[in-house]
Amino acid sequence: MMKTKLLLGLLFVLPVISGCTQATLDNDYIKAQKLIDVNSNQYTDMAASGTLEDGVRVIRISAQQFNFDPALIIVNKGERVRLIIEVEDIPHGFEIEGFNIPGYDISTIIRKGTPLVLEFLADEAGVWEFICTIYCGFGHSEMKGTFVIR
């Protein structure tokens, strides 16, 4: 009876432990990949996006079926960043996948005439993909860009 309980306990605990370890490994891999991407020198010679206004890097992004303009955004680590996302046609959404912007709800719908303004500190070097989070037609899956903090 005791052996059965021990065996059942192990069968329950081992998957939980291995799952936690796997999640940590996956997160470490993702973080390492972001740093490898940003340190690959691919972005070092490129100018930072937008303009510097009162110490804040301001970048205007136009969203329309099925693209963002600019589709490549480069900022420097440690900068305050203000993204102003303006929609040119139908409603769109915006998310920098894997990058947390405090206070921002990624389910926010951006409509023409009402820009979304996001301001945050670029505190972690890396490369992320930004996407439209609202289905906007047949080319929706191609509506993405690259966000770089170097």
Burial label for 100, CB within 10 Å (0-12, 13-18, 19+), is exposed
Residue 26: per-residue pLDDT: 72
- pLDDT value for 24: 57
Q: Measured between alpha carbons, how far is 40 from 33 in angstroms, rounded to an integer?
A: 10
Q: Please report the pLDDT score of residue 108 as a whole number.
A: 97
Q: Report d(CA 41, CA 44) in Å as an integer.
A: 5
Please give the distance of CA 86 from its chain centroid, rounded to a whole number.
18
SS3 of 85, please? strand
Task: Dump pLDDT digits (tens) for 99-127.
Answer: 999 999 999 999 999 999 999 999 999 99
Element (H, E) at 6: helix 2-38
pLDDT < 70 regions, the chain: 1-25, 27-32, 35, 38
pLDDT of residue 41: 77
